[in-house]
């Protein structure tokens, strides 16, 4: 069937100049299996209907099935539309799509979304009941801002952790472009120390590092992060971070998601005076319009006196315990400095820098 060739990547292999590889094959496979293929219309399941007999009536019926959540309606419609277009070209199974132009449902209205404060992230970093590898993942996410798919699949080969460099490179991103930047000094030092104890020589955040009580063979692959949103909220509650905006969804607001770690990075970076271009170099955003969503939260963060995150290699107890010996280099390497990675030019301030009153001031290591 065409959908199997699509989600498996076979279609992209056959037509590399026409078809992009599916970025989320599991998600699209589940949407098709759960909401499309087994829907019965006029006495036949969708999977039994030949493509040349599939009509707009079939598609409309699928979107009206009561078991299809309203929030998933457009996502399912996009998958149906994409498959029918692929059936036209390059597959040439049907001469034209039965769906008219602008058939897709309008996008769901955006709901308000939350972000974390640095003090809340710092509290989570020392929560020992959360696996070290997942705390490190969260700590890197809020300090660097990459997309979840890029970060969880990060390989040691993508990092240059030599002293005075500390860079990361992603050869492929959602926009199709490669991006690279200099890491926050505390992030680079934390990763150096983590590398000395990481059970994988390939993956920075491997499944092998996640504790499990199951008696099954562990594979050297990236760790599972699909349920990270729920775990993140649970851990925050146990750390005493109970702001309703993070935990209680409403008709107008979403509960905190793993994707909001990226929003945390953007908000805090703008609040401490980083430029739009500095942020976009790390997030991979293509337009300044995307960043405009965070400007109001960033201005409020300035008024609250928000500062940059604590050095990651110091705030995670297991990595702090390794000491400088855990990241020793042949030339003796300099001590990592605190604060976000510097910009090529001086960044204009988004507002006055005020001291934080809700968190004790940190002391510098001597």
Query: How do residues 195-206 score in pLDDT, each as one tens digit?
Result: 999 999 999 999
> How many other CB atoms are there within 10 angstroms of residue 125's CB atom?
24
- pLDDT score recorded for residue 360: 39
Residues 6+ apart with CB under 8 A from 116: 142, 236, 241, 246, 256, 260, 261, 264
Query: For the chain, how many structural domains are there in total?
Result: 2
* 31 belongs to a structural domain: yes
Q: Which residue has the higher pLDDT, 362 or 216?
A: 216
Flag whether pLDDT at 361 surpasses 80. no
Same-domain status, 202 and 144: yes
- pLDDT score recorded for residue 61: 96
Confidence class for position 325, pLDDT limits 50, 70, 90:
very low
Residue 94: name the closest of 82, 102, 86 by CA.
86
Flag whether pLDDT at 316 surpasses 70. yes
Same-domain status, 155 and 257: yes
pTM for the predicted model, two decimal places? 0.73
- pLDDT score recorded for residue 229: 93
CATH of residue 161: 1.10.443.10
Residues 6+ apart with CB under 8 A from 224: 207, 210
Residue pLDDT, tens place only, 345-356: 444 333 333 333
Residue pLDDT, tens place only, 109-130: 888 888 999 999 999 999 999 9
Q: Which residue has the higher pLDDT, 7 or 268?
A: 268
Residue pLDDT, tens place only, 331-345: 334 444 455 655 554
Beta bridge partners of 45: 40
Same-domain status, 11 and 60: yes
> Average pLDDT of 280-300?
82
Residue pLDDT, tens place only, 236-259: 999 999 999 999 998 889 999 999
* 97 belongs to a structural domain: no
* 52 belongs to a structural domain: yes
* 29 belongs to a structural domain: yes
- pLDDT score recorded for residue 130: 95
Same-domain status, 82 and 130: no
- pLDDT score recorded for residue 326: 46
Give the range of the structural domain holding residue 34, as residue numbers without chain letter.
2-88
Question: Token pair of 332, please?
Answer: 């003796």
Question: Reduced to 3 states, what is the DSSP secondary structure of residue 189?
Answer: helix
* 94 belongs to a structural domain: no
* 124 belongs to a structural domain: yes
Same-domain status, 267 and 153: yes
Same-domain status, 163 and 23: no
Flag whether pLDDT at 17 surpasses 80. yes
Question: Token pair of 143, please?
Answer: 């300090």
Same-domain status, 190 and 293: yes
* 39 belongs to a structural domain: yes
Flag whether pLDDT at 79 surpasses 50. yes
Average per-residue pLDDT in the chain?
Answer: 85
Residue 76 · residue 36 · CB < 8 Å: yes
Same-domain status, 189 and 274: yes
Confidence class for position 327, pLDDT limits 50, 70, 90:
very low
- pLDDT score recorded for residue 342: 57
Residue pLDDT, tens place only, 180-190: 999 999 999 99
- pLDDT score recorded for residue 286: 73
Residue located via tokens 């034209």: 96
Residues 6+ apart with CB under 8 A from 345: none
Same-domain status, 195 and 144: yes
- pLDDT score recorded for residue 212: 80
Same-domain status, 27 and 128: no
Same-domain status, 322 and 202: yes
Same-domain status, 123 and 82: no
Residues 6+ apart with CB under 8 A from 54: 46, 84, 98
* 274 belongs to a structural domain: yes
């Amino acid at each position: 069937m065409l959908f199997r060739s699509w989600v498996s990547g076979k279609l992209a292999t056959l037509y590399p100049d026409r078809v992009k590889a599916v970025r989320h094959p599991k998600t699209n496979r589940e949407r098709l299996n759960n909401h499309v293929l087994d829907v019965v219309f006029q006495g036949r399941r969708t999977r039994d209907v030949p493509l040349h007999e599939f009509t707009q009536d079939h598609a409309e019926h699928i979107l009206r099935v009561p078991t299809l959540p309203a929030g998933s309606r457009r996502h399912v419609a996009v998958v149906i539309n994409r498959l029918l277009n692929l059936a036209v070209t390059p597959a040439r199974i049907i001469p034209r799509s039965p769906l008219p132009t602008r058939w897709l449902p309008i996008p769901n209205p955006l709901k308000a979304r939350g972000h974390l404060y640095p003090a809340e992230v710092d509290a989570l970093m020392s929560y020992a009941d959360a696996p070290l590898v997942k705390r490190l993942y969260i700590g890197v996410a809020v300090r660097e801002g990459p997309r979840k798919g890029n970060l969880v699949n990060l390989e040691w080969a993508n990092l240059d952790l030599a002293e005075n460099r500390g860079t990361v490179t992603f050869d492929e991103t959602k926009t199709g472009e490669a991006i690279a930047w200099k890491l926050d000094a505390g992030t680079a030092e934390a990763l150096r120390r983590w590398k000395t104890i990481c059970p994988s020589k390939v993956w920075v955040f491997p499944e092998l590092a996640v504790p499990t009580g199951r008696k099954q063979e562990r594979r050297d692959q990236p760790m599972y992060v699909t349920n990270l949103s729920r775990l993140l909220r649970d851990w925050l509650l146990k750390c005493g971070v109970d702001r309703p905006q993070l935990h209680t969804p409403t008709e107008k607001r979403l509960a905190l998601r793993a994707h909001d770690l990226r929003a945390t990075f953007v908000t805090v970076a703008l609040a401490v005076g980083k430029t739009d271009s500095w942020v976009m170099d790390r997030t991979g955003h293509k337009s300044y319009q995307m960043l405009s969503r965070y400007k109001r939260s960033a201005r409020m963060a300035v008024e609250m006196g928000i500062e940059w995150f604590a050095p990651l290699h110091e705030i995670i107890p297991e990595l702090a315990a390794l000491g400088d010996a855990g990241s020793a280099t042949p030339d003796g390497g300099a001590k990592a400095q605190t604060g976000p990675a510097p910009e090529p030019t001086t960044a204009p301030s988004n507002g006055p820098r005020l001291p934080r009153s809700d968190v004790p001031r940190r002391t510098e290591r001597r």
